[in-house]
Amino acid sequence: MAKSISYRDAGVNIDEADRAVNEIRRMARATFTRGVLTDIGSFGGCFAVPKMRQPVLVSSVDGVGTKLKIAFAAGRHDTIGEDLVNHCVNDIAVQGATPLYFLDYLAVGKLKAGVAAQVVSGIARGCAMNGCALIGGETAEMPGMYQDGEYDLAGTIVGIVEKSRMLTGAKTQIGDILLALPSTGLHTNGYSLARKLLFEVAKLKLDSALAAELLQVHRSYLKAIQLLHKGELIAAAAHITGGGITDNLPRVLPKGMAAMIETGTWEVPPLFERLRTIGNVPDDDWRRTFNLGVGMILVVPQRKAEKAMRLLRRGGEKPWQIGAVVAQRRGKDRVMYH
């Protein structure tokens, strides 16, 4: 008689998957808002859209890049999911949207229910803090696709905004003020270069202090943006992710406009200076790879800048004027550093 071969023999443990799903279901339910219509485990997540005159759904999908490599090496998996949610929230918040729901995708070679639960705990925490429901997702066990102890993580967020309230950058004018909000470390970008510099060039070891610094949570700017948006104090906002200020700020500037960034208005955090020194990284690459301590830039009308600053400070933020919108000169870059 031929030997009986089960799914477990192929590397997939359905019982372990069931344990993971049960824990995920418990955490996800804690994020449910009034709009959630289906439980975790349905073939699709259903959400009732709030009533608006002209509702616009705003969506984004992203991952956390090679920051995962730091989580693997440190054996810390409880914050990487929060990174993912906050990154996605910021991407739709800059368009004026309020988050509705989130779906995650976790792919592993060999599923460990405990690790999966840690990852999803961060996702659930991020969702709860942003008023966003975790209504579903996928946990895929794929033997042979990933190294032992490694996984990939991605997420999709959907938010909503009244069409007339969308932030598109169209109202930006020359003379508008650029307000910056600080980042918490690298956020979720630049880790491929950071890892090369720290561990290959400088030959550093990933001790607990360095791991804590590199795994600082990518923060959410939702509340800050909503404060200004509600008060009609904002024309546009740019989430400073991969590409840095150089590539992200022009995405919200109308044609013919540029940004003048005053580099002396803030002190770049030591980690970024350390990375530049280790690799003798050229300024242009340095500015396009890392956020340099700037996680969000808000474009506000000049006459409303002081009010916006006061409101942000009352909300617990530490904003500063990082520059202004100027006319783009022929042949010049759209972001200029002074």
Residue 26 confidence (pLDDT): 84
Q: Which two tokens stand for residue 47?
A: 């959400």
Domain limit, last residue, from 114, 137, 165: 165
Model confidence at 6, in pLDDT bands (50, 70, 90)? very low
Residue 244 confidence (pLDDT): 94
The reply to whether 326 and 193 lie within a common domain is yes
Please tell me which residue, 11 or 202, carries the higher pLDDT value: 202
Model confidence at 7, in pLDDT bands (50, 70, 90)? low
Q: Which two tokens stand for residue 128?
A: 């709860």
pLDDT digits (tens, 9 = 90+) for 34-76: 988 888 878 888 989 998 999 999 999 999 999 999 999 999 9
The reply to whether 139 and 194 lie within a common domain is no
Alpha carbons 324 and 258: distance in angstroms, whole number: 9
From residue 5, alpha-carbon distances to 10, 102, 110, 258 in Å are: 8, 37, 18, 64
Alpha carbons 300 and 309: distance in angstroms, whole number: 10
In a domain, 170, yes or no: no
| The residue type at 44 | G
Alpha carbons 318 and 180: distance in angstroms, whole number: 9
Residue 11 confidence (pLDDT): 56
Q: What is the residue range of 103's domain?
A: 10-165
Cβ atoms of 86 and 125 within 8 Å: the answer is no
Question: Which of 10-24, 190-204, 209-223 has the lowest average pLDDT?
Answer: 10-24
Q: What is the pTM of this model?
A: 0.91
Domain limit, last residue, from 132, 165, 198: 165
What does the DSSP assignment read for 95-116? Answer: TTPEEEEEEEEEEESS--HHHH
Alpha carbons 331 and 113: distance in angstroms, whole number: 55
Domain count, the chain: 2
The reply to whether 195 and 143 lie within a common domain is no
In the predicted model, is pLDDT for residue 5 greater than 60? no
Alpha carbons 322 and 255: distance in angstroms, whole number: 21
The reply to whether 84 and 196 lie within a common domain is no
Beta strands 335-337; 257-261: pairing state: parallel
The reply to whether 99 and 182 lie within a common domain is no
In the predicted model, is pLDDT for residue 20 greater than 80? no
Q: Burial level of 180, CB count in 10 A (0-12/13-18/19+)?
A: buried
Residue 59 confidence (pLDDT): 96
pLDDT digits (tens, 9 = 90+) for 305-325: 999 999 999 999 999 999 999
Question: Which of 33-42, 152-161, 242-251, 301-310 has the lowest average pLDDT?
Answer: 33-42
